[in-house]
Amino acid sequence: MQMEWYFQLLNPLVFMIFAGGFVCIDRMRPSRAALVFAASYLVGSLAFLLDVLFEHSESIIVRTAIAGLYATTALLLVCGIWRHYRGPAPWRLLVGILICHLAVYGALLALEWPWMRSFSANFGCGIIFTFGLVAMHGQKHRFLDSLLFFVHSASCVLCFVRPVAIAFLTGEPLSSTTHSEEMLLVSLHLVVAASAVTTGMTLLVILSRDIFEDLKESSVRDPLTGLLNRRGFENEATALLQSRSDRTVSLIVADIDHFKAINDAHGHGTGDKVIAAAGQLMQTIAGPTGIVSRMGGEEFIVLLPDIDLIEASAHAQRMRTSMISLSVSDNADNLSCTASFGVAQYRTGEDLSSTIMRADHALYFAKTTGRDCVKTETDLAVRELNSLNQNDIGHESWKADASQDLA
């Protein structure tokens, strides 16, 4: 009998541990859902503890209070699931169901209808659990989300099946007598605890996964603009090129003109606004398939899949003209700025860094020819060819002059 009592005390202890786990999740990343889950397991721990302490009590107040704690545990669990998958939970509706459930349960206790009391105690919790299934239904699920849906479905079914199974096994409904039979009592607590533990472990893993994904996302995102940083850009661009090395891809490298002067004249806060606005502009023009990154400082890079050099140059021109009309509020007046652009096209088989280097050279060409313009690798090649031709002309002129001097 003493061992049985110790076994029953394991449930409140385990529930307390889960409550602490959810609080720790909230401390790592504030989450209202995690706090609601913690409250659910805390109330569940209290429900199990009181159930053990007053297992022989037939007081309507005591039995209704314990049933209310179990139902509240279910309600909080469902509200946490709803918060995680959909947003604010339908608290008023669920609390209304809880009140009706306890009113019916208390009335059946007063009427001493043990059969209906057994069904009512479980049926009310089953209805509340059903709302958890509604919250998860139709959502984009991954493996863990599907596992939670399965486990919660099993818990829901268990609420409706348990009183029938008890009546079938004992030949009578759940009462103080049948509930106190050792094997039945142990089995009941074991099944409920196993369901709650499986649900709790699944939820902890799901919330931990979300924290890990947030950390992973923040490691490849620029906090000021929300764009990819250099690391994130290289990861996505490399994956895109590896998926099909022969696809047409172009790169745009952009740099805000005279950005240091903007910071010096208007302050770093205004400079940050300019960078954020410029990043948003480039992302909008690049479209959903474009990969846009803030490479550092006031420099951006845009990868455009399935777009050739000519079309990419047109995109860069749109970005340039949009930058001119872009205005950033600076308390006293609106600040406008310009940017220079370099464009290059990926060549099959080369490294991504080679394409970036050619776009950088084109950007440098744009910077040295007056800024606020777009230059492509073709423009750069033409300039170099003209330079070579001029050198050749100069060389031929030198040879002619030297011949005349010798004559």
Q: How far apart are CA 339 and CA 247, in angstroms?
A: 28
Rounded (5°) CA angle 134-164-71: 45
Q: Give SS3 for 302.
A: strand
Q: How far apart are CA 109 and CA 66, in angstroms?
A: 13
Q: How far apart are CA 131 and CA 135, in angstroms?
A: 6
Q: Which position has the token pair 């995109």?
A: 315
Q: How far apart are CA 97 and CA 248, in angstroms?
A: 60
Region of 289 (left: φ > 0; alpha: ψ -120 to 50; beta: rest) is: alpha
Q: In what helix (H) or strand (E) does residue 186 lie, and over which residues does it extend?
A: helix 182-219
Query: Is-contact 109 175, C-beta < 8 A?
Result: no
Q: How far apart are CA 270 and CA 330, in angstroms?
A: 6
Task: Show the beta-strand stretches assigned E in 138-263.
Answer: 249-256
298 is catalytic: yes
Beta bridge pairs of residue 249: 305
Q: Which of 112, 181, 298, 350 is catalytic?
A: 298
Q: Give SS3 for 240.
A: helix
Active-site residue list: 298
